[in-house]
Amino acid sequence: MQIRVMALGVFRTVAAEFVVDIRDNACVRDVREALESRLSVESPGMLDTLARSAFAQDDMVLKDSDPLIEVDCLSILPPVAGG
């Protein structure tokens, strides 16, 4: 199945969104791994940021172990710092 991942923050310097192919009955970890494979070729400097980023669906932050049931779009939330 295909999942669209909307890029936020620093990820927008690479693309506005990513489309990744993952197996049916996948979990968030599978999306992370698919993006890791893609970024290792396109933008290896983003791998550390990806490792520290979260994924969200609508207004809920997801865990890597959360299953993707009837999901076609996620957002990737990079770590932020503020004052």
Domains of the chain: 2-77 (3.10.20.30)
User: Strand pairing partners for 19?
Assistant: 4
List per-residue pLDDT tens for the chain, 83 residues long. Answer: 999 999 999 999 999 999 999 999 999 999 999 999 999 999 999 999 999 999 999 989 999 999 998 888 999 999 986 54
- At residue 81, the pLDDT reads 60
Q: Are 73 and 56 in contact (CB under 8 A)?
A: no
Q: Which of 11, 9, 13, 31 is nearest to 22 (CA)?
A: 31
- pTM here is 0.91
